[in-house]
Structures are given as structure tokens and as C-alpha cells.
Amino acid sequence: MKLHIDDQALSLAELRTIWENDVEVTIGDTAQQRIARSATVIEDVLAHGDRVYGVNTGFGQLAQVKISNDDLAKLQVNLVLSHAVGTGPLLPDPIVRLTMVMKIAALAQGYSGARLKLVHGLCALLQHRIYPCIPSKGSVGASGDLAPLAHMAGALIGVGEVRVGGETMSAKDALTAAGLTALELAPKEGLALLNGTQVSTALALAALFRCEHVLSAAMAAGAMAADAIKGSDTPFDARIHEIRGHAGQADVASLLRKLMRGSEIRASHVDCVRVQDPYSIRCQPQVMGACLDIVRHVASVLTTEANAVTDNPLVFVDTGEILSGGNFHAEPVAFAADHLALAIAEIGSLSERRIALLIDSHLSGLPAFLVEDGGLNSGFMMPQVTAAALASENKSIAHPASVDSLPTSANQEDHVSMATFAANRLHTMLDNTADIVAIELLAAAQGIDFHHPQQSSGVLEGFMAQIRAVSPNYSTDRSLAGDIAAVSNMVDHGTFMGHSRAILPSFGA
């Protein structure tokens, strides 16, 4: 992908593409002028001997300590080194790439006082696909993502480790191999790199994109489950949803109608005596529609944050002022991540209930546990137990992170957002929910098999074929662990989202 940053904001679709693909970034003329003017303000302030936080002072509670001009470069290096204290598993390269692009976009707006040389340094890392090794833990989401961004900044100055082509090496060696030189930080530049919400935002964006995949697969699974139990599509009638007025609900109902349209199985029981289906079938538009509305809201918040300037202090070129504020506080990201957690948990919860319905012969009309010779065979008994365990785990993980705060920096930073954890934990929840939905897809496919030679809709039979390509019909007991893993991978990579794209925010809905 080639990305030109100048006056335009990053779109959600572009952010998704950056997450999915390597990217080369160029900086437009207008942005270069903004960057240069901003750096000049820093130079002028230092020439006049003014005291400016983070430029010629210490940091946090040490902000009252004046730093001599001879030590200003060392101050910025010390800041990066002292703050690079992250722990835990490394962030995946796609999330690191998103972080770097959003940092470039923020610096290019010309409020950070960084030189063009610094911005070009970040662009060079992306061009050569040099991705800093950034530990996933250690940020409280204010003052920005300090520890993880310090690891990113370290790569620019030849410190720490990076990944190139999936191989880990020292940043110094990677720069040399690429024909690059380590950057010498100018005043304010270390702080401009470390302050900001880019890591928590990247984590949340990646979770949003994955959630679109899982939500799409869950709607496909829900349509398959409805057909497998010979459920009614009447609850998806557009008139029902129009009079409630929620856009997501109406869109999900419309999608379910399209997915089930033309099903021979549905046509075979139009005049059956069953009056109503259980809520997990009947209320899919209401529940999944609410989840879709959350996804859309979160997409809006994160798109705004992705284009935000979130370091401190900020340089206002028109007046020459340098103002200290708190844009680094990631509360909007924390709230968005907590909101998305609710949707992820509910997608899995509803899917698990449909699995339980499918294996219950009294409610589904299908063989008990979806297998012939029950008793000799246990069928889908234990996959439902696994789904229940995962759904329960998600309920605990979904507890809001944003309601917690621990003061840091000797109470100078006395309220923090916990946005980085709020966003990072979404990926564990998504792993769980992808597995739950995978189990439902397998169970629903098994249920539909019992109705053959009657066919489901063309779309759902297409999904059936994709599932059967990795998981044959369950005729006698075998381990489904590998099947679940294979279908979960399909869920996570968007295999079942083709018909959902029109209603998903990162595809322009």
C-alpha cells in the first residue's frame, strides 16, 4: 500500500488496509511545511531561554527541574531509554504498523515540534518493513502509551530490537542493513514520540476489524442454525424492525432474509404448527443489530482518535505558543474498547445459546447432540461445553477496564484511562468468540446435513461447502479440536463476511 499524508484524514478503510498490508508513506508539501514551522517554534523558544515542559525541563513530577542547553539532546535519549520498560508478549507487526502510521499522521499535523527528519525516519522504517519489537503491557493509557511508544522510538535511535521479515534482530543491525543511520533526537522529539494514544488506538482498531469478521460469521451461523432447526424467517420481516427504528437491527434482519432466501428447508415447513422459535433464533436482529450499532459507534470514535494529535505540550505556530494539556489521556479509547467488549461477549453468548438449542432434540427436532446412535456416540455434547466455558470467560473479561485507575508518577498523573489493557484484552475475547462461532458453524452444518437432500439457500449451502472442505460430516465420534481450530481460523480471517460487507463500517457502511 502507498499512503500519501498531507491534508486529508485517514479513513477507516485506509486504516484497515494498513492493518492488513505493508505500507509506504510519503509526506505531502503542505504537511512538510507545517512540520518545519512547528520545529522552528521550538528552536525560537530555546533561543529566548524560555522554560517549556519536556523541552528543557524534566518530566512528570520532575517538570520543575530546568535542564541546561548542553543536556537537551541527552534529555530526549534518556526519556526514551528510561521509559522503554514494557513487558509481556510482543505486539503483532500489523498493530505496530498501525501505531507507526498514526504517529506519523499526528506529527505531520505540525503541533508536535518535531523535525521533518524525524517523520522521514519513521517513514523509512515502514518502507524497509522494520517493525520495532513493542511489548504489549506496561501502559496505563496516560500520559499516552509511554512504555510501548518508547520501544517504538528506540528503533529510530538504534536501541532495542526489531522484526524484519519475521526475524528478530537488533535495531542497530537492522538500520545498518537497510542503509539507514540512527537518528539523533532534537529537543522535544523524544516526548513527541512517547506521548500519544497510538498503541491503544491501534489495538482497538485491530479488534474492531476482527470483530467485523466474527460478527459476520455469527450472522451466517445464526441463519444456518435457524434453517437447521426449521425455524421461521417471519421474525426477520422488515416491517417489524422498521417500527422500532434502530438501524443496526433493520440491517441485520435484512441480511438474515438474504442469507435464507430460497431455502428449500424453509419452504418445507411454512405451514407448520410451531408458533415461535426461542429467542436465540427469533431475536437475532435485536441482539446482533445492537452489536452492529456498537461496532459502528466504536468505529467513529476510533477514526477520530486515529487522526488526533495526542502528545504534549502542543505547538501552535500561529501564535508561537506552546501549551500543556492532556490530549494524551486515552479515555475515549478506553470507553470505546469497553463498549466493544460488550458486543464481543454478546455475539459469543448468543452463539453459545444456539449451539445449546441445536443439540437439544426436544427443541431442535434434530437427533440428540447432532449424531446418530446417541449413547454410543456423544456427538456435539462436549463442543457445547467448550463454547459455554469460553462464553463464561468472556463475561469476566468484559468487565470495564475504564472504571479502574491507579495514580502514577508520584500522583502527578493521578487519573489514568487503562485504555491499552482495555483494547488489548479484546483480542483474547475475540479468540474466544471466534471459537464459539466456529463450533456453531460446525453444529449448524451438521444440523442442515440431516435435512438433505432438501437444500438450504444457495448462500448457506456455499458456507456449508467451505466448512465441509475442512470438516467432514460427523457420522461417528472423533475429536473436533482440529475442526474447530480450522473453522475458527476461517472466522477470524473473514471467510464468512462477503454478504455482510455492505453493513460494516470499515467497508464504507
> With contact defined as beta carbons under 8 Å apart, do 57 and 64 qualify?
yes
Return the residue matching grid coordinates 505547538.
Answer: 315
Measured from the Cβ of residue 315, the count of other Cβ atoms closer than 10 Å reads 27
HSE, side-chain direction, 13 A CA sphere, residue 41: 23
> With contact defined as beta carbons under 8 Å apart, do 265 and 456 qualify?
yes
DSSP helix/strand/coil, 26: strand
Query: Distance (Å, rounded) from C-alpha 358 to C-alpha 425?
Result: 30
Query: What order of strands is seen across the sheet that includes strand 167-170?
Result: 130-132, 161-164, 167-170
Burial class of residue 104, CB neighbours in 10 A (0-12, 13-18, 19+): buried
> With contact defined as beta carbons under 8 Å apart, do 275 and 292 qualify?
no
H runs (alpha helix) in 263-418: 264-267, 279-282, 284-306, 331-359, 361-364, 381-397
Rg (CA), the chain: 26
- HEC string of 393-442 equals HHHHHCCCCCCCCCCECCCCECCCCCHHHHHHHHHHHHHHHHHHHHHHHH
Residue 239, sorted as left (phi over 0), alpha (psi -120 to 50) or beta, turns out to be: alpha
Query: Distance (Å, rounded) from C-alpha 273 to C-alpha 206?
Result: 46
DSSP track, 187-199: TTHHHHHHSSSHH
Query: Distance (Å, rounded) from C-alpha 141 to C-alpha 402?
Result: 10
> With contact defined as beta carbons under 8 Å apart, do 412 and 60 qualify?
yes
| Angle between helices 198-228 and 247-260 in degrees, nearest 10 | 50
Active-site entry in 53, 111, 131, 474: 53
Query: Distance (Å, rounded) from C-alpha 337 to C-alpha 231?
Result: 34
HSE, side-chain direction, 13 A CA sphere, residue 376: 5
Q: Which residues are paired to 4 by β-bridges?
A: 26
Q: 131 catalytic, yes or no?
A: no
Active site residues: 53
